[in-house]
Amino acid sequence: MKLTKKEITRMMDISAVQADSTQDDIKEMVECAIKYDCIAVFTLPNQATFTRALLPKNSNVYLGGVVGFPDGGQTTNTKAKEANELVNELGCDEIDMVINIGMLRSKQYKIVEDDIRAVVEASNGKMVKVILECAYLSDEEIRKGCELCIKSGASFVKSGTGWAPGGTSIEDIKLMKSCVGDQLEVKAAGGVRTLDFLIELYKCGVSRFGISTSSAINILKECEALPNGEIEI
């Protein structure tokens, strides 16, 4: 089986979601995404309008927004309002939300489920990816988080924000995929810095990747060097 450069770029969400991300950082991210036809760009909520203005109207690049970022500890009402504003006022095409990590670890599953469902409903049909932040969770907590994402109508489970200690692991991705099967898709984020690692994650069932601009540029340069623009997997 072969994976083409085009197929790789259309799985890449480039992000500038650090606390110190500047407008110059966002411009660099958007330019990279447009040049390589990546699938989406993600910024913090206060930068959504600025980012949307940088994207051509006929662009294939989606604008993503983050909800409850990066800790997931906001009230459900706050998260729902944030999702509503991002989608209906700021023009976001996709939402990545952070699960209520503390409530999941406290086994307050109804609270977590309702939290996810409220964001899904407020997102008005847009794709919602739920960030589990696996670095803080046990295997059993990851399993339960995946189960709640399925029940709540999410589109994806996602491994992390990129803010937690430690990055995405092959073991966590395999566990997430085994839990959601074909019911949800899986996004890996945090520590995806090379084409080789991206391919390994893809083999484990990942269909979207959250990647910083600098790492994306390095991976895309690796893609450009592929013979015939494709890689055997």
Sign of the alpha-carbon torsion through 180, 181, 185, 191 = positive
Q: Is the pLDDT of residue 1 over 90?
A: no
Q: Is the pLDDT of residue 58 over 90?
A: no
Choice among 5, 158, 172, 177 that is catalytic? 158
Tell me what pLDDT residue 11 has: 98
Q: What is the pLDDT of residues 123-173, one digit of tens each?
A: 999 999 999 999 999 999 999 999 999 999 999 999 999 999 888 999 999
Tell me what pLDDT residue 166 has: 83
Please state the rounded mean pLDDT for residues 68-84. Answer: 98
Tell me what pLDDT residue 44 has: 98
Q: What is the value of pTM for the model shown? A: 0.96
Provide the residue ranges of all domains of the chain, joining segments of one domain with +. 2-232
Q: What is the pLDDT of residues 6-15, one digit of tens each?
A: 999 999 999 9
Q: Is the pLDDT of residue 66 over 90?
A: yes
- Confidence grade of residue 228 (pLDDT, cut at 50, 70, 90): confident
Q: Which three-class secondary structure state does DSSP give residue 231? A: strand
Tell me what pLDDT residue 211 has: 97
Choice among 13, 25, 96, 115 that is catalytic? 96
187 belongs to the catalytic site:
yes
Query: Are the C-beta atoms of 176 and 142 separated by less than 8 Å?
Result: yes
Provide the pairing of β-strand 62-67 with 40-43.
parallel
Please state the rounded mean pLDDT for residues 58-66. Answer: 96
- Confidence grade of residue 232 (pLDDT, cut at 50, 70, 90): confident
CATH class of this structure's domain 2-232: alpha beta
Query: Are the C-beta atoms of 38 and 67 separated by less than 8 Å?
Result: no
Sign of the alpha-carbon torsion through 16, 164, 173, 228 = positive
Tell me what pLDDT residue 102 has: 98
96 belongs to the catalytic site:
yes
- Confidence grade of residue 179 (pLDDT, cut at 50, 70, 90): very high
Please state the rounded mean pLDDT for residues 75-91. Answer: 98
